[in-house]
Amino acid sequence: MEEKELKKVDLKIAVASGKGGTGKTFLSTSLFGVLSSDYTDVKLIDCDAEEPNSGIFIQKELLKTKSVTQKVPVINTDNCTYCSKCHDYCAYNAIFILPPSKIIKVIDELCHGCGACSYACEFDAITEKDVEQGIISTYKTNQGRTFIEARMNVGVMSPVNVIKAGLKEAGETGITIYDSPPGTSCPFIQTVTDYDFVILITEPTPFGLNDLKQSVETLKTMDKKYGVVINRAGLGNDEIYNYLKVNKITLLYEIPFDREIASHYSKAEMAINYMPELKECLAQMFVSIIKEYGNSSN
């Protein structure tokens, strides 16, 4: 791919880790900062909807917010015969019913909005209401790029709908970086389903290796492309390197265990703005990913 074509790629990259605290947000925001200098159409989506914190590191102006809602059933007890059919159809145990006592209640927090109960009810006893699950906030950064934050409301059981709405808001073109939810459960799967490449970030410790293995096994079942960044390189042992070698997994970059990086991070500063060598290394890593996996828009 020629240099001028690099500026016009469409690429979705997820930054993910098997657990929190491995440097996922550091890497996502740093890459976003690096690319914001060179690419006009680059976005960062913070999909860690339970605890989004990428925004702390980004100078930005709020453009708009959007409420994410879900349909939740409402029982009309005047029509209800307490037949229990809605309860039987609900796969999420979101309907509590005690027919002898004529008690029926929808537990909003457990409801997944599937509509099965409405379908099941033969007595026209169920209507629906909108319940807010979270907020999508869209910002313009001081470099004119787009930052989107998906934040779920406290008490909501699953962030999946909020993440989906955040992904939709980002659109399909340009370079999109996803700061994925940690772990390998539904929120992670939802985020990475639509990506072109995933960067797994981990640490060279037994815990880091264990979590990396889980992430790799999950990605293998999804037949997705991925590579690994090791954070705090120099800590721990060599087991993780042996694992990568044996399993022929690409080591994209090692972020050194460096007091200066930690110091900037603790002050919510972007280390790349103070450490040009770090910025250059991340830029090179990104160009190699884009050359391998990007699709030219033209």
Q: Which residues bind ligand SF4 (CB under 6 A)?
A: 73, 75, 80-86, 89-90, 92, 94-95, 104, 106, 111-117, 120-121, 123, 125-126
Kindly tell me which of 104 and 201 has the beta carbon lying closer to ligand SF4.
Answer: 104
Q: Which is nearer to ligand SF4, 102 or 140 (CB)?
A: 102
The distance of closest approach from Cβ of residue 74 to ligand SF4 in the complex, given in angstroms and rounded to an integer, is 10
Question: Going by C-beta distance under 8 Å and a sequence separation of 6 or more, which residues neighbour residue 44?
Answer: 28, 29, 32, 54, 58, 145, 146, 147, 148, 176, 177, 179
Q: How far is the CB of 120 from ligand SF4 (least distance, A)?
A: 5
CB of 85 to ligand SF4, least distance (A): 4
* Residues 177/32, Cβ–Cβ less than 8 Å: yes
Q: Which is nearer to ligand SF4, 36 or 133 (CB)?
A: 133
Which CB atom, from 152 or from 240, has the smaller least distance to ligand SF4?
152
Q: Which is nearer to ligand SF4, 11 or 121 (CB)?
A: 121
Least distance (Å) between residue 130 CB and ligand SF4? 13
Contacts of residues 274-282 at CB distance under 8 Å and 24 or more positions apart, as own/partner, are: 278/30, 279/30, 279/33, 279/34, 281/253, 282/30, 282/31, 282/34, 282/253
Q: What is the CA radius of gyration of the chain?
A: 22
Angle between helices 276-293 and 24-38 (to 10 degrees): 80
CB 98 → ligand SF4: shortest distance, Å? Answer: 11
Alpha carbons within 13 angstroms on the beta-carbon side of residue 284 total: 9
CB of 22 to ligand SF4, least distance (A): 34
Q: Which is nearer to ligand SF4, 117 or 285 (CB)?
A: 117
Minimal distance, residue 152 CB to ligand SF4, in Å: 17
Residue (9 or 126) nearer to ligand SF4, CB: 126
In this structure, what token pair is assigned to residue 99? 């027919």
Using an 8 Å Cβ cutoff, are 156 and 134 in contact? Answer: yes
The Cα 136–Cα 64 span in angstroms is 8
